[in-house]
Structure 1
Amino acid sequence: MAFIFVGYLPKVIVSPSAEMALPARVAGVWSVSNCISAAPPAWFERWEHNRFGAFDTVEGAWSLVPEDTASAYAMLALRIWHEDRACDGWQPVN
């Protein structure tokens, strides 16, 4: 059993807000979801990502980030579990 590396994605790291009700020790939220941590503008529409929605190289991922906002982003390396839970049981991720 193992994780599978799927690629890179730059994300805006969000400082916790009062609405999040997180412990004081939480300094930032590193979310894969776009509802909390934004990805670069129009990254999906450019259709340069791989089948997992990530990028194969760090350089390819950074190329989407506007230079004037680059300091707001951090590069995430994404991994997924090697199996997916389907209706009929666990299936390997291909």
Structure 2
Amino acid sequence: MAEVPDNIFSATFADRDVERVILSAMMRDRMESSFFLDRLTQQDFYYRIHNEIYAEIQDTYKRGGDTDYISIKSLFTNQKRHQDILEELQDYSY
């Protein structure tokens, strides 16, 4: 029988499109935000920029603020890369 390596469960699986679909859904509907915030953590996002966007959505939600696209985008006014990603997320559908 083949030996199973010790680190078999330490592999990192990341899918840029899945992360973007989740973030897009969270900004479209507060119920979606609630659903994902109950199930995911910031560390579940492999890509740093997605991690940072998720953190802002999470913080905004906890404060009772709007988690829609415009509100979240306004938090990144001086960060061009974040603005570009958010523009792309606006067009993602699920």
Q: Calculate the TM-score normalised by the size of structure 2.
A: 0.30
Give the helix-richer structure, 1 or 2.
Answer: 2
